[in-house]
Amino acid sequence: MAEVGSFADRVKQQADIVRVVGEYVRLKKTGKDFSGLCPFHQEKTPSFTVSPIKQIFYCFGCGKGGDVFNFVREMEKCDFPEALKIVAEKSGIALPARRERSPEEHRETQHRTLILEMHRAAQTFYTQQLASTPEGRVAQAYLEDRGLDKPAIEQFGIGYAPSGGDTLLRFLRAKYKDEKLLAESGLISRDQSGRLFDRFRRRITFPIANEGGKIVAFGCRALGDDTPKYLNSPETPIYSKSNVLYHLDRAKEALRRQDFAILVEGYMDAIAVARAGISNVVASCGTSLAEPQIKLLARFTKRVIVNYDPDSAGQAATERSVALLLEQDFEVKVLALPPIGDRKADPDLFIREKGAEEYLKLLKAAPPYVDYLIARARRMDMSTGEGKLRAVNFLLPYLQKIPNRLLRSEWATRIAQQLRVDEPVLRAELSKAAKERRSALKTQPELLGRLAKPVERRLIRMLADAEDFKIELARRLQEERLYEGMEAEKIIAALIAANLAPEPIPTVEVAGTLEERDRRLLFEILFEKVNNQTWREAESCLSTLRGIHLQRQFDAFAREQQVVKSDQTLAESLEQQARKDELLARLRAQARAQEVEEKIITKDEADPVQEQINKMIKDSLRRLG
């Protein structure tokens, strides 16, 4: 596109790619080149390189590369002419005279310019009304009650639209005579008789700016009991709700620097979070996040913490937003704030009542979206097979959107454990649904039937019935905490506590302390027919649980190994190697113990779960070397 001798070629020759890229990416000099974290994909180790000599960039991770124009086009999601203009302006190069526009284009541009001017004038009007009128003083008292002092009001440009039906109209008419243009601005409305009147009346105003900081709309909250409680500008030649995020103009540098965004619903939430010192916050200004807003956000970060209101509308909006964000390959976490007394807490209320420090603490601990969704699914009726199927089908569309196979496998295991469904059957059904491009599972008796792995069921029976050794078994389980994370964890924990109590508690009484689904499972297991229980069988179960525990440690270690830190110290490298050696030794010891066990146990006594664990351990040993 940059032909020799053309204006584009001159801009390319004069532009400094390091300086241009450096406005978007934090670069560090490495020899002749510069490197940094790639802005086009998520990474923790820099693989993005800029060459000042060749005037090109390239990412060794995702493969994106090109010249300064390619970079700006990718970052700004614009076409070549716009990228050329941006690079020229950043490089201090004057743009050539534009071609003559058609009369219609000139008129549209002039209209947009005038409407932008009207919004600047309206902003001045609203802030003056708040500061210097009796009505405005009432609005100020309300804002102060919401924790907004005068500096905060000025910082965020908050104003007040008076109750008179044509106060703003008369103010604008002094300069803008075109009634059609006034109606198109979105600031003025027209009734059925054709009479013009102020769109916003007796409302606190929040200016909504585009990415460049120009006011293009207003969001307004009723001061009294007027309805609707919130009223925004309509679509206009300068404003499309789905293309704007509130506070983005102030947050964009923090978004690039922090590399994650907090997504909230409304203006007050965004203001509260920003005033808490967390400037990388944006608001969707409603309960529906649109795809263009997501693409706009993606120019700055691909990591989001969704913190919508906790009411039913907010929960539904959270689920819709998560689905849309996953489709655009975002890394998503969800923060569901705890209630304050009997009130559901949005970010504004929570920060006012609990403080910024407590909010930041919860923000840092925000769980991945799958944890949030699993918790939502568990609130469904899980006492029936149909209820479990509904819960799994609620989660399936989200699970299918996870791009990483290792993460997808891990979440499938967690879903099976949390919802108490058979994991192998669940995995088979997920695979089948993916091949058939279905977003729901078909009813499978195997999926909804037996709960808890064979080893767990055997342990439960022994803890309940094996009078000769159940106390020793309970002691071993308690010491090593091997049952934690199992599907029947609560049942096993209750039986351990009953056996280790000063006065042993009967199993029937233990059942009475459990939740309904756990109580049913316990009785189902107790009525199963079993052979004579032996200590050797108990040791076999303990060995199986140790294998599961080791496998989980290996999986965690393998995930850590995927991320290699560029600034890792020698001490950290040695510590990581020591961990690997220790894990290898324990895996080998477990493998040897299982080989001995396999020689003793007959074919009829073999445990399919133990066999699967043995295979996983051997695979782990091969991968670790």
pLDDT higher than 80, residue 574? no
Cβ atoms of 25 and 16 within 8 Å: the answer is no
Question: Which carries the bigger pLDDT value, residue 300 or residue 606?
Answer: 300
In this prediction, residue 116 carries a pLDDT of: 95
User: 């939740």: which residue's tokens?
Assistant: 515
In the numeric block, the tokens 């091969």 are attached to 622
Is pLDDT at 621 greater than 50 in this prediction?
no
Output the average pLDDT for the chain: 82
Burial class (CB in 10 A: 0-12, 13-18, 19+), 608: exposed
Give me the mean pLDDT over the 313-337 stretch: 89
pLDDT at 445 exceeding the cut of 60: no
Q: What is the pLDDT of residue 542?
A: 87
Predicted pLDDT of residue 560: 55
For residue 564, the model assigns a pLDDT of 42
- The reported pLDDT for the residue numbered 600 is 45
Distance, in Å, from the CA atom of 106 to the CA atom of 118, rounded to the nearest integer, reads: 18
Could you tell me the pLDDT band of residue 329, with boundaries at 50, 70 and 90?
Answer: confident
548, two tokens: 């599961």
Q: Where residue 171 falls among pLDDT bands split at 50, 70, 90?
A: very high
Cβ 580 vs Cβ 624: under 8 Å:
yes
Confidence of residue 562 (pLDDT cuts 50, 70, 90): very low
**pLDDT value, residue 448:** 47
Q: What SS3 state is found at 48?
A: strand
The pLDDT of residue 59 is above 80 = yes
Q: What is the pLDDT of residue 385?
A: 66
Separation of alpha carbons 102 and 98, rounded Å: 12
Query: Averaged over 64-69, what is the pLDDT?
Result: 88
- Tokens, residue 587: 């895996």
Tens of pLDDT, residue by residue over 97-134, are 666 667 787 788 889 999 999 999 999 999 999 999 99
Is the model's pLDDT at 396 over the cut of 50?
A: yes
Higher pLDDT, 43 or 612: 43
The per-residue pLDDT for 4 is 46
Which is more confident, 101 or 232? 232
In DSSP notation, 453-498 reads -HHHHHHHHHHHH-TTTHHHHHHHHHHHTTTTTSTTHHHHHHHHHH
447 has pLDDT over 60: no
Q: Kindly report the CA angle at 184 between 129 and 288, in degrees rounded to 5?
A: 80
Q: Across-strand partners of 334?
A: 306
Q: Which residue has the higher pLDDT, 203 or 11?
A: 203
Average pLDDT rounded to a whole number, residues 542-546: 83
Greater model confidence, 429 or 228:
228
Overall average pLDDT of the 349-355 stretch: 95
Count of CA atoms in the C-beta half-sphere (13 A) of 456: 24
> Which of 253-267, 326-340, 476-490 is the least confident region?
476-490
pLDDT above 90: residue 1: no
The average pLDDT across 153-159 equals: 97
Radius of gyration over every alpha carbon of the chain, rounded to an integer in angstroms: 31
pLDDT tens column, 406-419: 777 888 888 887 78
Mean pLDDT of 440-457: 60
Using the structure block, give the residue that is written with the tokens 């009997």: 342
Q: What is the mean pLDDT of residues 572-597?
A: 62
